[in-house]
């Protein structure tokens, strides 16, 4: 891939990002370096939240270091509610970053994002869009499961995170974006979209279209897969079709933005020897049971 337009573009994109986040990084480094090793261990449930995940960002962060440090996060009250921090997962070379709302019941138990029914639907959507699952990093706007016990069934019912919790957790997501440098970010549902695109952003008005943003060459938004799974029977088929179509738009964008990568994949799968294209360029909720 080195030497191609794709690689060049990616490097330049990284360079821009590095420059633009330098002062923030330095600030975070300073904060983080004042913390002690005891902050990295699982916090006591009685501890008082600090108000921001920024207080837990390690110096010289890598995804592995961030994941380890996030286990001790007490940036907001949710560390007392969820079983464990559910950090993002996927290769650090991923071109696509998917941002959900918060881990669900199964993710909270497993400690991994999108392992439940929403994740299964997401996998099908990627398949249908020709997006390689190995090219996707999945994460959430909020990294602890917020829930309340249903009085009747005793089941843990998902509760939508509030603006303060989303704000407190944002530094983790910011760091993930800065390190992964995805070509495309896909926001699933209003929580992720508002966290990344602003409070006035409307998923319904702008779904399935590339949105210009400083976060990545393109940001897409669509509904949360759990809203598809919860749709009433007469709307379910249509809701799923629309969700699939939104994810296909991401697939098309990726092909358009990096044709040589698609050629590489074609070579990998067919065994044909094709010549890499030398001129490859790139432009660039309601409270419910979120599974
Ligand atoms: N829903 C989300 O938003 N994130 C997960 O990780 C699982 C379900
Ligand atoms: Fe930290 Fe985010 Fe968990 Fe709050 S939800 S404790 S900010 S990881």
Q: Tell me: the pLDDT tens digits for 38-65?
A: 344 555 677 899 999 999 999 999 999 9
Residue 205, domain member (yes or no): yes
Q: Evaluate: CB of 118 within 6 angstroms of ligand 1.
A: yes
For the cut 70, the answer to whether the pLDDT of residue 10 exceeds it is: no
Q: How confident is the model at residue 200 (pLDDT cuts 50, 70, 90)?
A: very high
CA distance 160 to 190: 10
CA distance 161 to 100: 12
For the cut 80, the answer to whether the pLDDT of residue 76 exceeds it is: yes
Ligand number with the minimum distance to the CA of 101: 1
pTM of the complete model: 0.78
Residue 211, domain member (yes or no): yes
pLDDT digits (tens, 9 = 90+) for 117-137: 999 999 999 999 999 999 999
Residue 289, domain member (yes or no): no
Dist. CA 39 → ligand 1 center (Å): 26
Q: Which helix (H) or strand (E) holds 188?
A: strand 184-188
pLDDT digits (tens, 9 = 90+) for 227-263: 999 999 999 999 999 999 999 999 999 999 875 554 4
Residue 78, domain member (yes or no): no
Dist. CA 283 → ligand 2 center (Å): 35
Total count of domains within the chain: 1
Q: Is 208 left (phi over 0), alpha (psi -120 to 50) or beta?
A: left
Ligand number with the minimum distance to the CA of 288: 1
Dist. CA 104 → ligand 1 center (Å): 5
Q: What mean pLDDT, rounded, does the chain reach?
A: 81
For the cut 80, the answer to whether the pLDDT of residue 105 exceeds it is: yes
- Pure H helices in the chain: 5-33, 63-70, 105-110, 117-129, 163-180, 189-197, 203-206, 225-230, 233-257, 259-270
Higher pLDDT pick, 42 / 33? 42
Q: Which residues line ligand 2 (CB under 6 A)?
A: 53, 70, 73-76, 78-79, 85, 142-144, 165, 168-169
Q: What is the CATH number of the domain that holds 133?
A: 3.40.470.10
Ligand number with the minimum distance to the CA of 291: 1
3-state secondary structure of 94: coil
Q: Residue 276 has what pLDDT?
A: 30
Q: How confident is the model at residue 205 (pLDDT cuts 50, 70, 90)?
A: very high
Dist. CA 160 → ligand 1 center (Å): 12
Yes or no: say if 201 and 193 are a contact pair by the CB < 8 Å rule.
yes
Parent domain of 215: 87-270
Q: How confident is the model at residue 8 (pLDDT cuts 50, 70, 90)?
A: very low
CA distance 129 to 119: 15
């Amino acid at each position: 891939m080195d030497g191609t337009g794709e690689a060049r573009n990616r490097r330049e994109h990284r360079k821009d990002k590095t420059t633009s986040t330098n002062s923030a990084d330095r600030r975070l480094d300073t904060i983080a370096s004042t913390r002690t090793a005891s902050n990295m261990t699982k916090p006591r449930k009685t501890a008082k939240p600090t108000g921001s995940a920024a207080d837990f960002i390690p110096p010289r962060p890598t995804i592995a270091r961030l994941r380890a440090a996030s286990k001790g996060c007490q940036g907001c009250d949710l560390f007392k509610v969820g079983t464990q921090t559910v950090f993002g997962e996927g290769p650090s070379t991923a071109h696509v970053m998917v941002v959900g709302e918060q881990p669900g019941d199964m993710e909270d138990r497993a400690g991994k994002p999108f392992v439940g029914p929403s994740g299964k639907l997401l996998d099908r959507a990627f398949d249908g869009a020709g997006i390689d699952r190995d090219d996707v990093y999945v994460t959430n706007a909020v990294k602890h499961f917020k829930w309340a016990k249903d009085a009747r069934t005793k089941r843990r019912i998902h509760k939508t995170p509030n603006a303060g919790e989303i704000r407190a957790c944002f530094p983790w997501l910011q760091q993930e974006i800065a390190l992964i440098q995805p070509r495309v970010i896909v926001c699933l549902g209003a929580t992720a979209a508002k966290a990344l695109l602003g409070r006035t952003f409307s998923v319904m008005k702008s779904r399935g279209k590339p949105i210009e943003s400083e976060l990545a060459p393109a940001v897409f938004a669509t509904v949360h897969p759990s809203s598809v799974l919860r749709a009433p029977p007469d709307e379910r088929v249509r809701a799923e079709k629309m969700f699939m179509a939104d994810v296909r738009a991401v697939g098309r964008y990726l092909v358009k933005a990096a044709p040589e990568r698609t050629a590489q994949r074609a070579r990998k799968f067919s065994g044909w020897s094709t010549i890499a294209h030398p001129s490859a360029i790139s432009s660039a909720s309601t409270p419910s049971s979120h599974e």
